[in-house]
Amino acid sequence: MEPSKTPFQMPNINDVRSEIPVFIPWRFFVFSLSLVIAIVAINFFIVLVYQPTFEKSKQDVEKQIEDKKIAFEQTDRQKISSIYSKLYFLNAALPNHLLASPLFTLLEKNTLPEVVFNSFSFNTEKSSLVLSGDADALQTLVKQVFIFESLKEVAGVSLTSAALNKLTNRFEFTFNLALKKDFLVFKTK
């Protein structure tokens, strides 16, 4: 191409070379190729040499896990069986078990302050309670009997004895409380 004589003229597009050379230095190519070959060789070596060792270790660990799992399951089964049998027998025994605490709560809430109990006897078979004590007046004793008769937990009240003690000037008494059968039986919530 010859330079044109006019300074502002554009060069002819057909005169420009269209090939752009791609240049990779041969040393870089050799280094990259040897690096790829080395990585492939190391991986191949690891697969051939260490894989059986890794597989054996993996199998040993899996066997240990399975052994622990079986031992753990047997221990758990025994514990669960023991707990279940205890709960089963407890559930069977509780309906026949009588609780005394509701009886004391009943007496505490429904006893007049002027009445004092000296003796307490409870028959579980008959669900009856024999109370002995003293009161300051006969009217107080009658009020106490009426209070016990009005309770829904009490089936009946019978005054078996009442007498005035001349030394203390108090009325000594004994009466029976017949309690309802289900009053003292354990109830599940």
Regarding whether 77 and 105 lie in a shared domain, the answer is no
pLDDT digits 0-9 by tens, 14-41: 665 655 555 667 778 888 889 999 999 9
pLDDT digits 0-9 by tens, 103-143: 888 889 999 999 999 998 988 788 888 999 999 998 999 99
Regarding whether 154 and 124 lie in a shared domain, the answer is yes
Residue 86 lies in a domain: yes
Regarding whether 68 and 42 lie in a shared domain, the answer is yes
d(CA 175, CA 169): 19
Regarding whether 111 and 75 lie in a shared domain, the answer is no
d(CA 46, CA 30): 24
Regarding whether 127 and 84 lie in a shared domain, the answer is no
Regarding whether 51 and 120 lie in a shared domain, the answer is no
Instruction: Provide the β-strand partners of residue 117.
Output: 133
pTM of the predicted structure, to 2 decimals: 0.51
